[in-house]
Amino acid sequence: MSAAAIQPVFSRRVLFWLVAVGVVSFLGSIALMITGGADKGARYGGHPNAVSAIGYKGFVRTMKRLGMPVTLSSFNSVGKARRGVLIVAEPRLDGGRGATLRRLLTARRSILILPKWRGRPSRRKPRWVGRAGLLPGGSVNKILQSIDPGARVVRRSGAVAMSANRLGASPSLIVPQLIRSRRMTTLVAGRDGILVGEIRRGGRRTLVVSDPDIFANHGLGNGANARLAVAIVERLRPAGGTVVFDTSIQGGEKKPSLVRSLFELPFSVGTASGIAALLVLLWSASARFGAPRRAAPIFDAGKVTLIENGTRLLRFGGHQREILDRYRRAVLAVVSARMHAPVGQGGAARIDWLDRVGTARGTTDKWSELAVRVDALVGNPAATDRRLAELARRLHRWKREMLDGS
């Protein structure tokens, strides 16, 4: 098949839009990965990526700045925390998550942060909390009693002094939520209950934090809350150990899957673009099935093509004026021979004879006038192709009228 028969799959316009959509999709995927906009669970609640008032983004950044290796885990969190400490923040028991919580608390070293607030996302800024209220004490007790059946939470209004503190940093809480338990070892406590307690069982150690305001974004900067939060983690973290922050208890456990990841944000944007490009390719190639089209001939046959090619060659050579002069001579010779012009007469006598015959036959032009016009154009280097062609047509018309009549 010749090169002239090969046709592009896409037009330039379609190719431009395909490239543009691909670039925009790639940049959108990068932006979503940077901003984390695909994680709806991070907008509010005890999620480590939440930037709202009751989120934990600030605490995660604090640990990273202090040089602690931090991992966010949505699958096999217990196994990942084998040589570190596992944080289970504000778990929920709805949707069958009770079994997930019991499995997470089987880690060798774990920190359980009880929930306290229930927030609603802001309408103007969905990543922020527009309104928050205290959770019912009964729902918090169910979570607490999954590890300490005889314990319960109590709440007090106003600041509460901590009379017992083995971690060296005093919290600053407005509405403290405390624990009353006979089983826990007290680490930080006041007269009304325990703020941080420890439970040991079967070689496993679990620190229970009753009030999440120590870790949450809105309370982390109050007083010595940040120091206390770091001290709680360092209490269990072995030297060089990793802090594993579990997210499966909130968003559901997710096993790693490449296929599923392709259909989740931000990767689903690239997947959709690839599918769209494939569909466009199939659509463009759908008319190309079957026998290949017969290639068009490079040069068309026939007299018209021959004349056109010859005309282009002559025009390229730039001899239009000489051609007009030769055509004038050829017309004169043909008409003189066909009309049996008198032989032996001079040029002026022949021109006069042709004019008289032409007048008798009713020709549009006289030969004497046409000859003068031809001489004028042939001697004019600035003569345009249009004027030369028009005069050639008049010569042809004069010949036809002389031979065949007007």
Q: Quote the pLDDT of residue 1.
A: 45
Are 225 and 172 in contact by the 8 Å Cβ rule? The answer is yes
pLDDT > 70 in the chain, percent: 85
Count Cα neighbours of 61 within 13 Å in the Cβ-side half-sphere.
11
Work out the pLDDT band at 340, boundaries 50, 70, 90. Answer: confident
d(CA 215, CA 232): 10
Q: 16 or 181: which carries more pLDDT confidence?
A: 181
pLDDT value at 39 more than 70: no
Lowest mean pLDDT among 75-79, 117-121, 126-130, 245-249: 126-130
Residues paired with 245 in a beta bridge? 72, 87
Mean pLDDT of 357-365: 88
Residue ranges per structural domain of the chain: 39-263, 303-404
Mean pLDDT of 48-68: 92
Q: Which two tokens stand for residue 14?
A: 């379609």
pLDDT value at 358 more than 80: yes
Give the model confidence (pLDDT) of 148-203 as tens digits: 999 999 998 877 888 889 998 889 988 899 999 999 999 999 988 999 999 998 88
Q: Quote the pLDDT of residue 249.
A: 84
Lowest mean pLDDT among 198-212, 276-290, 350-364: 276-290
d(CA 295, CA 284): 19
The pairing of beta strand 204-209 with beta strand 194-201: antiparallel
Q: Which two tokens stand for residue 46?
A: 């005890």
Full-model pTM: 0.58
- Alpha helices for 340-366 (secondary structure H): 347-361
d(CA 213, CA 221): 10
Chain centroid to CA 25? 1
Which is nearest to 207 in space by CA: 223, 228, 191, 190?
A: 228
d(CA 174, CA 179): 16
Mean pLDDT of 384-389: 88
Mean pLDDT of 346-363: 85
Q: Quote the pLDDT of residue 205.
A: 95
Mean pLDDT rounded to a whole number for the chain: 83
Query: Is the domain defined by 39-263 classed in CATH 3.40.50?
Result: yes
Q: 23 or 173: which carries more pLDDT confidence?
A: 173
- Of 228-232, 292-296, 297-301, which has the strongest mean pLDDT? 228-232
Which is nearest to 157 in space by CA: 178, 143, 141?
A: 178
Lowest mean pLDDT among 120-124, 264-268, 325-329, 368-372: 264-268
Are 206 and 112 in contact by the 8 Å Cβ rule? The answer is yes
Give the model confidence (pLDDT) of 101-147 as tens digits: 889 999 999 999 999 988 888 788 877 887 878 889 899 999 999 99
Amino acid at 57: K
Alpha-carbon torsion angle 22, 28, 34, 35, nearest 10: -170
d(CA 219, CA 221): 6
User: E strands along 214-331, which residues?
Assistant: 243-246
Q: How far is CA 132 from CA 27, 52, 54, 219, in A?
A: 35, 11, 9, 14
Lowest mean pLDDT among 174-178, 283-287, 305-309, 354-358: 283-287
**DSSP annotation of 185:** E
Q: Which two tokens stand for residue 114?
A: 């009880």
What are phi and psi for residue 209, nearest 5 degrees? -105, 120
